[in-house]
Amino acid sequence: MKKTCIITGGSSGIGLSCVELFLENGYQVFNLDLQPSDKGEYIHCDITNLNAVRESISNIARSYKIDTLISNAGIHFSGTIENTSDAEFDRVLDINVKGAYAAIQAVLPSMKKHRDGSIILIASDQALIAKQNSFAYNLSKTALASMAKTTALDYAEFNIRSNALCPGTIETPLYHKAIDNYVARSGANKDEIHREEASLQPIGRLGQPEEVAQFALFLASEKASFITGSLQVIDGGYTAQ
């Protein structure tokens, strides 16, 4: 029988790479996203609608044993605390944090029933360090790290593992959108900014979504059966500086 993986925000970037890799490795993959995709089983779902998230996952659980949840849906937002409006703050938390909260709640009954499961939260290197002009985003990713650790402790007795993947600068549509927004504000040259970002990484390049997906596949596997409550960094050495 195929293992089942649910991925939120699986239509682009790291999420799409996870969908593709888990499919290649024989998983039944469900993608909860607003953006349509022909990869895996696509379910139209607004991650900010917590009841819709719960209902979508509950419907899957009626027919499938849920083996893995990858909570990936997220947005980036640049701004200091003064430059972050109430609406912008709420939107970052609604997507990055509350969506993960609802998804985890929804998979736990199935995982508890079968006494098995792997929960993987896609956090960020900003779960470990701070960066300038990143108040709301940084806070949201730190929250995901905390969520991974507390969930790991609360559900270890059911053999449910919970970990946070903490990518550094990964070349995704989200990355390019953030660069484009900066270029629009500052008038800087995008190619130069792209080269500067790569040079900031000790390894000398940006990470690729496929590399994060490979790490997620490992964390979902039996090879990682003793890993829970951890923050796994994949950042080209950035946070080691």
pTM for the model: 0.96
pLDDT single digits (tens) 186-220 = 999 999 998 999 999 999 999 999 999 999 999 99
How many residues can be counted in the chain?
241
Q: Where are the beta strands (DSSP E) in 115-235?
A: 117-122, 160-167, 231-234
d(CA 168, CA 221): 23
d(CA 190, CA 193): 5
Counting residues of the chain whose pLDDT is more than 90, the rounded percentage is 93
Do the beta carbons of residue 239 and residue 128 sit within 8 Å?
Answer: yes
Say which CATH topology domain 4-170+208-233 has.
Rossmann fold (3.40.50)
27 is catalytic: no
d(CA 172, CA 129): 21
pLDDT the model gives residue 182: 86
| Phi/psi at 28 (5° precision) | -85, 120
- Token readout for 201 is 């990484």
- Token readout for 235 is 């950042």
pLDDT single digits (tens) 52-111 = 999 999 999 999 999 999 999 999 999 999 999 999 999 999 999 999 999 999 999 999
Active-site hit among 27, 42, 64, 137? 137
Evaluate if residue 177 carries a pLDDT over 90.
no
* Residues near 191 by beta carbon (within 8 Å), at least 6 away in sequence: none
Do the beta carbons of residue 218 and residue 22 sit within 8 Å?
Answer: no
- Least Cα distance to 6 among 22, 17, 221, 222 occurs for 22
